[in-house]
Every structure is written in C-alpha cells, then in structure tokens.
Structure 1
Amino acid sequence: MGGRGARWWQYLIVGVLLTVGELALPRGLPRYVGYLALGVSAVVAMSIGLRRNRPVNARAWVLIAGGNGAWLVGDAAYNWHTQVPSAAVPPPVWAYVPYLVAYLLLALGLLMLARARDRGRGATAMIDTAVLTMGVGLVSWVYVVVPAWAVEAPVLDRVIAATYPLCDVLLVTTAIRLVTGPGLWNAASRLLVASVAVLLLSNGLLQRVQLDAAFAPLERPLDVGWLLAFVLWAAAALHPSMRALSEPAPAREDAMLVNRLVGLMAAVMTGPAIVTIGLLTDTGLHPWPVVIASAAMAGLILARMIGMVRRLTRQAARLGALAETDFVTGLANRRGFADRLDELFVGATAFAETGTGPERLSDPPPAAAVVILVDIERFADVTDSFGHDVGDALVAAVGSRLLVLFGPDAVVARTGEGTFAVLHRLAPARREPASSLDRDAQALLLKRSLEGTYELAGLSLSVEVCLGGVLVPGDAPTAALALHRADVALVSARSRPGRIARYQAELETGGTFAAQLVGELLGALARGEVVLHYQPQVELRSGRVLGVEALVRWEHPVHGLLVPDAFIPAAEQTGVIGPLTRYLLDLAVEQCARWRAAGLELTVAVNLSARNLLDPALLTDVRAALARHGLPATALELEITEGTVMMDPARSRQVLGALADLGITLSIDDYGTGYSSLAYLQRLPMGRLKIDRTFITDLVRDEASATIVRSTIELARHLRLEVVAEGVEDDATLRMLRDMDCFAAQGFGLGRPVPPAKLPALVLAIEARLGAATAA
C-alpha cells in the first residue's frame, strides 16, 4: 500500500509506540501534556482522514471525531485534578459531563454508519443487536452496576459510578449494531470495533480499580488503553476503506450466519450462567434482572425466528416461481405449463368422480380444453443473423401477442427456444365438436394473428408460425401424454402446407396400431378387457407346482386376444405403464389370495418394467395390494430384466432393497439376453434367476448351451440364487435340468398359460404325470 493509503498504518505504528512510551513519563505535568498531545493528534488525524477520503456519510465520522474530542476534554479536566496538583483532589462533578457527551456522540456516529450501510434492511439486525445488548447489559448490571451502587459513598458518586457501565452498554449496542448489520467487514470496521473494545476494557478495569483496592496497581497503565483507543479511532478514519462503511450494502437477503447464531445463543445463556455462578459461589442469584432480561431475549428470539420463517417462506415461493418462469418473456416455462396441465386433469378426475361424467365408461370424454403448441419457423436463423438480443425481443413480442389473443384465463408458456404452449379451456358449447385442428377456422385465425411483421429495435422481422394441437382429455388421458401428442402434432404440422395439425393416432412414429392401442388402454382397464393368464412353475426335485407367472393379455373387442408385445412397449414409452402395472399387480395378488384360500398354496410372479422401478409410488402400491387382499409378501414374486436393472443401478438397488425388506422374492428375468454379469447382479437383493429360453430350447442337442446352463446353475447356487429355466418344451430337457440341479422350470412342455379358472385342473394334471416323466 502506497501514497496516502500508507499513512494510516504509519500513524498507527507511531501512535502505538508513543502510547507505550507515555508510561515512561513521570506523573504530573509532563505526562499530562504528553497525554493531551497524543489525544489531540488523534482528533486532527481524524479530520485529515475525513478531508482526504471524503465518505458519503461524513456526518457519522464528524460525530465520532467529536466524541473523541469530548472524551479528550473530559480526560483533560479529570487528569488536571488527579495528576497535576501535588496533592490530588477529586474532580468536580462537571468534569464528568464531557464523558457523557462523548459516549452519546460516539454511539450516534456508529449508529449512523450502521443505518447507512443497511438502509431499509435493519429489522433483523436490530433484533440481534437488542438480544446481544441485553446479554452484555445483564452481565454489566449484575457485576458492575449493582456492586458500584452498593459501595458506601455519597449518592452522587454512586450515580456516576453506575452511569458509566450503562454508557458502556450503549456503546456496545451501537458497535454490535454495526457488526451485525450487512456491513463490510474491512480494515476500517475492524479498527472501529477494536477501538470500542479497548475503550470498554479500560473502562471496566477502572471500575474494578475504584471498587477493589487489589486492582489499584492497574490505575496508571489505564492511560495506555484510552490513548490506544484514540489511535485506533484515528487509524480507522485515515484508512481508505472507511468510505465503504458509509455506502449502502448490496441488496441481498439477510442470513442467520453461524457466528451470529453463536452470539445470540451466548447472550441467551447469560441468565443461566449468572444463576449458576451465584449457586456455586454463594454471591447471589439476582433473580429479577435475570428473569426480566431472559424473558425479553426469549421474546426477541421468537420474533427473530418468526421473521426468519416468513422470509424463508417468501424465498421458497420466489424460487418456486422462478423455477416455473421463463426469464426472457416472464411466461411460464415447460415445467410450469406441465403443472398447470396436471391441475386440469386432476380437476377433470374429481369432476368425473362426482357422477356427472359420461353415463358409460365406454363413452369418450368430452374435450375440456385444447393444448396448442406454437413454433416460430426459422427462429434459429433469426438468432444466428441478428443475435440473441433480437431473438429474445421476438419471443417476448410473440408471447405478449398470445396473451392478448387468449386472454388472462389461458395459460401461455414458452417451452422451447422459439416454441410456445397454450392451455385454453373450452366453453361448454364448444366441448363436443371433434373436427380436426387443421380444419378449424379459429386455428387458422390464430395463425394469421401471430404471423406478420414485428418491429423490434429498428428491425422489421417477418414471422411465420406452425401450430400443433390436441384436445384433452379426449385425445390424451394424461398430462404427459397430452404434451407428447401435442409435440407429435407440431412435428406433423411442419410438413403440411397449412402448417396446422391436430393430433391423430396415425401421426405417431413407429406405426399406427400400437399408438391406437395405447390410446384405448386406460379405457380397456376400466372395462376389464385386460386380463391375466397364468403359467405354472414346477419345482424339479419334488415335481410340485410351487407357483405361477402372471402373463398379461388384452381381450380386444376388435382385434381379439392381444399378447404383451402388441401394446406393452408403447405403454412404456407413453407413461401408461404405471396405471397398467398397478392394475395387473392388484389382479394377480387378488387371484393368488383366492387360490390360497381354496387350499392351493401357490406363489405368483408379476413382471416389472424400467419405468416401474423409477416410479416413487411402486413400494406403496405393492404394500397396498398385499394388505388389501391379505396375501403374505412371501407369496409374491416380482420379475425384472437385466436391462431394467442396468438403466439406473443406484435407483434399482434402493427400490429392490425396500421390496426385499418386505419379504418379496425378486427375480432376474430373461437372464443371458443382456450384457450384465452375474457377479454384478448378485449385489442386488435377488432371490431367483430365470435363464432365458434361448439357452433352454436346444439344451439336449447343443453342448454349448448345456455348458452355459450348467455353469450358470453352479455359479448361481454358490451365490445362493435359485435358478428357474424358461422355455422347457419336452421331458428330456426337464430331466436334464433336474440332473443339473436346477431349482424349477416352466414352459409349454409343462403347461401353457391359462385363465385363472383353468389353473387348478392344470396343476393337478402336471403333478400327476410329472413323476413318471422325470423317472423315465
């Protein structure tokens, strides 16, 4: 640090040396003059610091300088009567007045600095200051004011002795106010706090000297403390950082910092500490001061906590709003739009549950709203040619026009760089028409209203848009599906001459059949068209049918009996797999409970998909199904594939661990078709391993398949996994698996999947013939 900035520390070093050297001067006039000279130099240095640094709030520093000057006047009067005459005499009462004035000026100066620094944000700082001051004041009252008042002396002397500690508390209050506010903790603030601390320490020692003769030897060195305080005040004024203390702090939310929390807790504990000391030393409990101060601090702490909770609530609401808001346009973002769309479907569900919905479950629900996606064509060219500022201005203008066109009741969101989404509720009279969006005159009118020339910052941009829409809930039974199908319609609109399209099933990529089926699937669940067939699983050693695997079938009224491959993949892609799995799980658990009640002790295995493992409600759904039908968890088996586990291993371990804790058996299905190793899978809480049919079909004829199956069974046994072979077609394969010590098997050679009503007879037939077949 050079130039004028270096003079503060030069003055500090010289001032400290002269302060220490003051002790060497003899008592009397030399020491008196030296003390005053150093004090006057501090006041002059403060004036120089004010003139050179030119702080914004100069009045605060003028008051601090005036406080130092008043203190020096008091020292001059006090020391003249106690040190200069050959016989020291008590100073007159008026000699104490400058000290009181000094306290007031110093406190006002510090308070003005604090208020200037945290202007408009001082409520919490005031509470913290009050709590900390009460703690300090309680200690001062008990250990300084009360003993000073108890001394045998004239009333005026006792009043003066009790006044100084109270003034010290006033100075502490303003210093704490400066520290606890959002001030800048820089060199100037450190020097100010140090000067206050040295001043208070010197005053406290003076009180002990006057109350206890044992402290008399400390009286002479006390001058060092007061002179050092002068030097620190002056160094703070000379330091260039003193300007920052007069400027408002940057806008920010107040925080409950760790050091502040520690300070508040220490202040609150002063009452119990004083009582404890009184009990241990028999010096008095001081109940009323402790009770009053503790009660006041408790009330302030409560107010502080209430304020903090309110502030955190406001902050959480603000963050929530920001998380759902596009910062360029001020509209909702994709997340916010999805939330509003979810609310629409929740409301529609509640409306349907009142009984005022369609009279028959097969009736298509009316369209309650339309979801429209609007895409600015060639928007990337705009940002590439004119920059992102022009692109931002364009999307803001389009968003504003959408708000005007649809009104305040619609939800308008920006869901992509140049893409907007609109959720517009239809009036009751418009809910039934099902004409496609590209033939809707209102859609064409909307497109024309959005297109045209936009004047942006001196530029004229010609804008074209394309629209894709979906009627909900008629075209999409869920919010996620509505967004997906609106995207599908928008993609289709880009390739059409009119640039407008409403979702139709044939727009789906990957074929129309699966998309149409998924659109009908929820209705099929409600109508009971989706059923389960059950395939037996046989324990090879005993020949007993120990359980069944539940296999889904759809009894479609048009297409006949559909196997899972016809609709399960599409259900996984569109999010319908969740409701479907809950439905099948409940159906399988209920049927198994019925068999066991009838004396047929079987377990039931249900397949899970990757989406199911990512569903946070899976564990709750499984528990609910078991409890609803009174089936023990040990009777339920859940099957997952290798690929399902490997999609999210961490999540899989968590969910599977929770399911295993319930007592459910977990199985790896179709083992051998993936790329994971058995060594990795054994880290999961699996109980069974189902070898895929591709290795079982040629087991008798293919040595390679036999070797793979044999080694898998051996390794699984060492890992305490039961092995189930899938795809057993003949008795020879069955006997070979038994010789390999395979635990169980299933396949068409044992029994085909059958409806639940036919299963008991199939179980009896399998167990009746299995002994002879395996013995041959």
Structure 2
Amino acid sequence: MVATRTFQWLDRHERAVRIFMVPFLLILMGMVYALVYETGGIKFVYSHSMYIPILLSGFMFGMRGGLVFGLLGGLILGPFMPINVATHEMQDTSNWLYRTGFFVLIGFLSGMASDGVRSYLRKLRWFSRHDPETKLPNQNALLDKLIEIANEKRDANFLLVIVAMGKAMELKSAFGFNVIDEIIQQSAQRFEKIALGKLSVYRTDMERMALFIELDSGVQVDYLVEKLAAVSRQAFPFRKIPIHADLRMGYVTFRTMEAAPEIYMQQAESALVVAYEQNQDHIAFGPGIRRTVRDNMKTLGEMIHALEAGQLSMHYQPKVNIATGEIHSVEALMRWHHPEHGNIPPDVFIPLAEQSTLIHSITEFALEQAMQQVVEWRQHGIDLPIAVNVSPRNLLHPGFPDLVKQILARHGLQGESLELEVTERALMVDVARAIEVLTDLAATSVSISIDDFGTGFSSLQYLYRLPISYIKIDQSFVRSSLADTRAGHILEAAISLAHKMGIKAIAEGVEDEKVCTLLETLSCDIAQGYLISRPLSADKFKDWYLALEGRFTCHVTK
C-alpha cells in the first residue's frame, strides 16, 4: 500500500521530481567517487556504494535511466580511479569494464522492475477510472472531474445529465449482455456529435451514463437536451436488428459549484426518477423534485406498515344493468387512512406501488379482502361478483394465476365471483404473456374486463385473441358524450364493437341522468358512476343495496 501511494505520488509530480533527481544523483555519484578515493582506492569495499545512486536512477527513470547512470557510475569508478591511491596503481581495463557491466545490469534490472510496477499501477488506475467494456471513463472519473472544476472555480455554464436505459433486462434476455455495452457505445458516439460545448461521456453503472458538458456561450439548455433525447429515441442497430433502448434523462444545470460534486449527481438522479414516474424522456431538476422523490420513498415505506397495521381497506362501487336496473356487480377500490395524514388518495399511492414489487402484496391484499367480502355479503342475501384491478407487474409475475386460484379455493368460491380489470397499458407490456395468463384464469370462469378502453394505442389488434367478458369505456368519453359529438361517436362505436364481438360494454363515470339515457339508447349494458353511488365501505354498501332491494333505475323516467 505504501509502495502504491509512493508510485502514485511520483506519477503526479514526475516532472518536478526528475528535474530534482538528475543533479541529486550526479552529486551522489560524485560523493561516492570522493569516498572511494579518500579511503584508498578501488581495492577497498567502498566502491559498492555506487549501487545506491544506480538503483535510485533505475527506480526514478526506468530502464533507460538505469542504463545511463549504470554506465556513468562504471566510468566514474573506472579509468579515473586507481586501485591504490597511495601507490597510484591504476586498474586494468578488463577490471573496470567488468564492473561497469555489473553497474549497467543492476541499473537495467532496477529500471525494468520500476517500469513494470509503474505499468501495473497505471493499469490499475485506468481500470479504477474506466469501464473495461466500452473504454468510457466511469463514475470515479466523473467525480474527479467535478472536483477539478470545483478547485479551479471555473466560471462557466455546466450541464450534468444522467441517462438510464429502460427495459434493460428484456434486452439482455433477448440479445445477451453485450447488447447493453453496444447501446452505451453507440449512444456516447451520438451524444459527442451533437453536444454544443465540451462534452465528456461517463459510464456510471451497467445501464447508465452521465454526460458532463461545459456549455458554449448562448446555448439554450432545453434545446440541447431535446437534441440529446431525439438521438436517443432513434433505433440502435445490433446484429442488423434495430433496437429501441428507451433511454430516459434527468439533468441539472449550474454555473459555479457551491455544493459537493455528489450533490449534483444526486439532483440529476432525482430528476431521472421523476422522468420514469411521469413517463417522460427528460426532466430537469427543480426545488421540489428531491422532496417529491423523498416523499415517494417514504410513502412506499409507510405502505408496508399500512398493510400490516390494517390502515388499508376496500370500498365498493356498484355497477348497474342499464336495461333491468339490477345491481350487476361491484368494483373494489382501495382506500388508505393514514393515522397522521388522514385519507391518502389512491392516485397517490397506487402508482407508486405499481412501480415497485410492493404491488404484488397490494394486489394479494385486495383479492383476499374482495373474496372474503363476497362470502360475508352472501350471508345477508347479497350475491355479487367483485372486480379487482390488476397491474402490469401482476400479469408478468409467474405465480399470479396460481395465487388467484388459491385465494378463490381458500374462500370456497368459484371463478364467477371474481372479475379482473386490466388496463390496455397492462396488456401492451407483454401481450403474449398477458394472453397466456388471462386465458388460464378465464378457464376457471374468472371474468376479464379491459379497463379505460379507448385510451390505449394498439390493443385492437389483440382484442379478438383475449378472453374478455367486458370492456369499460373510459369515463372521459362518457362524460363528454353529450357536449362533444366526437366523444359520442367514439362511445357509440365502442359499444357496437363490444356487442359484435359478444362482449358487454360498461360505461364508467356516469354522473348525469341524461348520459344514462343516452347509454340506454345506445344499448350499453352496464353503468358505473357517482349517479348510482360513490364508493362505499362494505357495511354502507350492504345497507344501500338492501334499501334498494338490489335495483337502481338511473335513466330519466319516461
């Protein structure tokens, strides 16, 4: 360790050390000459003192230095140094040449050892500051660069961008681990071509890069980042196959470094997290972002405790058969009553859970509560299926179908008691896997409903392959159907499509009697919304249902 630090120090101060060492070694050799001469000549053992400057020369200047100073030492103690000063007897030529050869050999070996150690340490230093696969500098090099900027107190505009690759696991499983390295290298080449300033690209993680740019004067940051995002959206060729890497960026700008370098990296990382949460290509760090990220992490941590402490509960919103007025089923909606913060809206904590593995526990809790509620309501003469929302992560989990079957069996229920609501977005994550899982569950008579129908992008091409019982037309079309003819046309087309495929249509977001009448005119099957009822606790729903005797007429009385 001491030797390593010594060589590192010498490398950093190489020029100054060498300027000092040349006269020092020459003086030292002169002192050895004087010592040998004053002690009587070459026949005495003091001539071996010349090995000291020769070894030092090899250590400091490598093989060439060792050779030169070895030769010089041989000459100093050679033809100019007598064997015996008192008798003035001089050395034979073969004698001092032989000694000179040894000096040269020792200097050469000393230099070779020094060069070997230096070369090894340079490799270690290179590996400590670079990624061996892509040859790009790594996070250590980035931190060193930021420290250098801070020490220089350079006055310029700087941009730090953290770039992360989405779907990396899918890419590696499909194409092998080399695909990540290739995309990183291609990305770095693209970024270097368009950067409007002094750009350095760093590979800070297996699936991440950092861009540090000293901006040219007058460059607009938003314009530059958009250009970086634009080239990252282009396909990356790999083995003649075009690949989309789904690169996201979080970035921070600064002029003078007033904080530690790590702080700026954390800020860019925080912006990156928000970019993923908001499904954006790039997000700039702002004052509220770190607080948002911290709050989200805190919320996830508290949600684990909420599951164990009974803070989560299910509320139920009824769905009505428009033609008959009968209560058709209910949708289970999760509620969180926090002991300090009160009721936390589902649109706050559910999206966070969906971005983590916690969604599996959340969904299992919802399924357990819903099926238990089916059993309890049956004791009061209420026999209704309950719909539970399912996330994309649930469908991708290999044990999900078995989990659903086990929960049904545990409560002594058949598949008819459960409806699973799946969004179009969830289907698009992995269509083949979604079809496989939903087909398996449909075989047990579990109903499948496509939620938020009409807001997806490409599910129509797979719709006929899915074992769907219902489509839920998104409430944005339902609410706007009277005021906006285009929304009305979409609503009508969705209902017609469902019926032609033998699927029932559910309109959600029904809040107006006139809308309900329109739905009846269009032969929509089922309605759900505040006109019928807001989500109710299990006990309140029981009272509501029994008071209406299981019927609700939502359209205008003719």
Question: TM-score if structure 1 supplies the norm length?
Answer: 0.36
**Larger fraction in helix:** 1
**Larger fraction in strand:** 2
Question: TM-score if structure 2 supplies the norm length?
Answer: 0.49
Computing the radius of gyration over CA atoms, which structure comes out larger, 1 or 2? 1
